[in-house]
Amino acid sequence: MMKHTIITIGRQFGSGGHEIGNRLAERLDIPLYDHNLIRMAAQELRISNEDATKVDETILGRFLSAYVVSTGDYTAFMSGEEAGKPLSDRVFERQSAIIRKLAERGPGIFVGRCADYILGDYSNCINTFIYAYKEDRVRRVMKVYHLEEKQALDKMKKMDRERKLYYEARTGRAWGGIESNSMVFNVSLLGIDGVTDALEAIYRKWDAGRT
């Protein structure tokens, strides 16, 4: 049984969830697992990072996967059962196995990728969901991605829709719902620093209680 503590972060697009994860990882000196999970899964599946990214956190990958992975030597490494699965399913399954392995190895912060669900058997997970008011998220997306307001709003709607569909299809739970999360934070009210401060304090208290 694990004695270390894990944080999972679900997030609306543009809410600052990734930045909060980064700041927490630095303060707590523990690993952050986000986009690097895609690279790990791609490496184990012997596919390109680009192909894995196309089906990451989107249920559309189930329909597009036949078109985004090129044929070649990779087929020699797949079992017959694997070959019959959409690429999105193979990436999800491999990524899930990696998440469980990393969680067993030591403390860490997992952003997205249904980590709260995948690690549902572990009692020492602090599962969180980060959100913010729409206007604040639009401003953040405009700044980070250098987009006009309408472009930022369209991108935000698209990413939120894909994350919601992906999460709910994979878990059978409501994305951002209270049944999946220990706590929910509004960045518009607390700010990036406020949420980071709160999670750091919770982590340290939680972790101290297990030592």
Its CATH class, for the domain covering 6-205, is alpha beta
Report domain extents, the chain.
6-205
Q: What angle do CA 131, 10, 13 make, to 5 degrees?
A: 50
Q: Please give the DSSP secondary-structure letter assigned to residue 109.
A: E
Confidence bin at 60 (pLDDT 50/70/90): low
Distance from C-alpha of 141 to C-alpha of 50, rounded to nearest angstrom = 22
- pLDDT, tens digit (0-9, with 9 covering 90-100), for 70-87: 433 333 344 445 556 788
Contact 150, 144 (CB under 8 A): no
- pLDDT, tens digit (0-9, with 9 covering 90-100), for 96-142: 999 999 999 999 999 999 999 999 988 889 999 999 999 999 999 99
Check residue 81 and give its pLDDT: 52
- Torsion of Cα atoms, 21 then 23 then 26 then 28, to 10°: -70
Put the strands of the sheet holding 183-186 in their side by side order: 32-33, 108-111, 6-11, 125-131, 183-186
pTM above 0.95, yes or no: no
